[in-house]
Amino acid sequence: MKILVIGSGGREHAIVWKLAQSRVVDKIYCAPGNAGISDIAECIEVESKNLSSLLDFVKYEWIDLTVVGPEDPLAQGIVDIFQKEGRKIIGPTKAAAQLESSKVFAKDFMKRHKIPSAEYKVFTSYTHAEEYIRLKGVPIVVKADGLAAGKGVFVCQTYEEATDALKLIMKEKIFGSAGDRVIVEQCLQGKEVSYLVFTDGKSIIPMVTSKDHKRLLDNDEGPNTGGMGTFSPNPIITPELEIEILETVIKPTIQGLKQEGIVYKGILYAGLMIVNNKPYVLEFNCRFGDPETQVILPRLETDLVDIFMAIAEQRLNKIEVRWKTDASLCVILASEGYPGKYKKGIPISGLDMIRGLKDITIFHAGTKFNEKGQIVTNGGRVLGITALGKDIKEARQKAYGAIELINFSGMHYRKDIGLNI
């Protein structure tokens, strides 16, 4: 069986790594991939947004299954294009992917279907948004409507922070047309959790729970990022709370979309705030989370290909998904300056020293080979160091122990992943 994975980050490396363990996979391609992925898949120089070239490749190479990692191709409608050509692909259609590609669509959808979320208002005018913030007071959350690589949400503690966020989005257009509309919403106070499920539009299979750390600095300080680390399981999600999440968020979302003529197939990710033991949706993602994937897939025992094929053929209810009891923890090593401007092309040392370590996997996020054949930095988030252990404490010790062997100039990482559970 031949599989194509689309994307170039740590999430895609984790997907490729898991697929490579399948008994039915003969060959994996990744477009465009990265230095780490090239160890286990053939990387092809096609960008993930180049949908026509990706389709041509799938036809030419007789690819049996395509897996979409990032959000952009889903928002562009890659699933619709591939399905029209009779090609198996994992991910929701363009209409379904609006849950992620438009925060306004998601908020309005949740309101229609009574899915718990923060109170909000949508604005196209800077002046009106600014007046609303003054009226509501702080803390308050300002969000760009469209895709912004995980950086379009501003949790503002002061009036100045809120108006600065508005200026960046609406006046300076740092996210382009994604900031044509903004959402200003109530700032929920509670515990933040990630909850992911597999679904074929009819059946739902939950994944093991996890917690992402969005802020750049220890103690959840500093700007929001794409994610600085994660661990699984998340002890905040009790069996009772999991039932609540499924009944009040996940099932009504899949059923609500179906009522609106949209069949959702693929991975659904809910970013939730738990307030007084009740879940409220902060955001939806229509694909695997990054870096949640780097702790979820190492715990998966069932063949990932079996799950993907069951999703594609709408027979997920026939699959039994099994998980390891081990805990897992991932720490992201980032470039100096991230999530702002950062340098690329900095050599990374120590990767070979980790290769043989038990229970440690390195997932490459932003890496490439330079002209000398060295692995160098090529992104804001560079590497994800994932460890398995009998509990989170042991996984944490192993991950941070491995990090001591790795170095690149300006390397930044949080020291508190998995510490304050």
**Residues 198 and 262 both lie in one domain:** yes
**Residues 273 and 314 both lie in one domain:** yes
**Residues 374 and 343 both lie in one domain:** yes
Rounded to an integer, the average pLDDT of 72-92 is 97
Does residue 418 lie within any of the structural domains? no
* CATH number for the domain harbouring residue 82: 3.40.50.20
**Residues 335 and 357 both lie in one domain:** yes
Does residue 40 lie within any of the structural domains? yes
In DSSP terms, which residues pair with 199 in a beta bridge?
Answer: 204, 266
Residues 226-252 have pLDDT tens digits of: 899 999 999 999 999 999 999 999 999
Best CA proximity match to 70, nearest among 31, 25, 125, 106:
31
* CATH number for the domain harbouring residue 312: 3.30.470.20
Rounded to an integer, the average pLDDT of 250-262 is 98
Q: Which of 318, 343, 377 is the last residue of a domain?
A: 318
Rounded to an integer, the average pLDDT of 270-274 is 95
**Residues 314 and 197 both lie in one domain:** yes
- CA-to-CA dists, residue 149 to 70, 100, 289, 391, angstroms: 9, 11, 12, 31
CB atoms within 10 A of CB 234: 24
Does residue 362 lie within any of the structural domains? yes
Rounded to an integer, the average pLDDT of 132-153 is 91
With bands split at pLDDT 50, 70 and 90, how would you rate the model's confidence at 403? very high
Q: Which of 318, 350, 376 is the last residue of a domain?
A: 318
- C-beta separation of 328 from 395 below 8 A: yes
Q: pTM, whole model, 2 decimals?
A: 0.95
With bands split at pLDDT 50, 70 and 90, how would you rate the model's confidence at 224? confident
Rounded to an integer, the average pLDDT of 299-313 is 98
Does residue 345 lie within any of the structural domains? yes
Rounded to an integer, the average pLDDT of 117-129 is 96
Q: In what order do the strands lie in the sheet with 327-334?
A: 211-212, 229-232, 327-334, 381-389, 360-364
* CATH number for the domain harbouring residue 331: 3.90.600.10
pLDDT (0 to 100) of residue 420: 78
**Residues 308 and 335 both lie in one domain:** no
* CATH number for the domain harbouring residue 133: 3.30.1490.20
With bands split at pLDDT 50, 70 and 90, how would you rate the model's confidence at 381? very high
pLDDT (0 to 100) of residue 325: 97
Best CA proximity match to 286, nearest among 111, 100, 417, 415:
100
- Print the domain residue range for 72: 2-91
In the chain, the number of structural domains is: 4
222, pLDDT greater than 80 = yes
**Residues 207 and 314 both lie in one domain:** yes
Does residue 409 lie within any of the structural domains? no
**Residues 344 and 263 both lie in one domain:** no
Does residue 127 lie within any of the structural domains? yes
**Residues 208 and 286 both lie in one domain:** yes
Q: Which of 51, 76, 91 is the last residue of a domain?
A: 91
Chain-wide mean pLDDT for the chain? Answer: 96
With bands split at pLDDT 50, 70 and 90, how would you rate the model's confidence at 192? confident
With bands split at pLDDT 50, 70 and 90, how would you rate the model's confidence at 151? confident
Does residue 114 lie within any of the structural domains? no
**Residues 385 and 342 both lie in one domain:** yes
Rounded to an integer, the average pLDDT of 343-352 is 97
Phi, psi of 193 (to 5 degrees): -140, 160
**Residues 345 and 294 both lie in one domain:** no
Does residue 411 lie within any of the structural domains? no
**Residues 236 and 215 both lie in one domain:** yes
